[in-house]
Amino acid sequence: MLNQNISEIEDLAQDSLDDAIIMGVDERQFKKVIVNLIESLSSRYTDK
């Protein structure tokens, strides 16, 4: 299940990057936004 989730995230990220490039977005900037988004996530299942 985890591998399937990772594969789906990879596909979504690739499609999003391709769309961004087509719209003229800088690839490095897009990747920075995605990295920041991932780093900002926190588990809903851990005690805080």
Q: What is the mean pLDDT of each run of 10 residues along the chain (48 residues)?
A: 96 98 98 97 85
Q: What share of residues in the chain are helix, strand, coil (percent, to 5)? A: 75, 0, 25
Q: What was the pLDDT predicted at 46?
A: 84
> Which residue in 7, 27, 5 sits closest to 16, CA to CA?
27
